[in-house]
Amino acid sequence: MAIYYLTVFEKNGEKLLDATFEAQSEKEAKEIGQQKLEENNFTDKTHRCTSSSGNLVLFAR
């Protein structure tokens, strides 16, 4: 399992969420990341999800 990092920002740069989680694949990480965004009502905020190796899995501005 790989470790993934989900970060959500306000437009002014304030960090709203900084979470880590494990997933079997990038596809699963994208699904988990999207679920966490929906649970916290952050889908309309700037966010990114990256793997521990630096791959960008999910991004929105």
Tokens of 15: 């960090």
Cα 23 from chain centroid (whole Å): 12
Supply the pLDDT for residue 2.
96
Supply the pLDDT for residue 42.
97
DSSP characters over 9-61:
E-TTS-EEEEEEEEESSHHHHHHHHHHHHHHTT-TTSEEEEEETT--EEEEE-
Supply the pLDDT for residue 52.
94
Supply the pLDDT for residue 5.
98
pLDDT digits (tens, 9 = 90+) for 20-58: 999 999 999 999 999 999 999 999 999 999 999 999 999
Phi, psi of 32 (to 5 degrees): -65, -45
Nearest CA among 53, 59, 43 for reference residue 23? 53
Average pLDDT rounded to a whole number, residues 4-30: 97
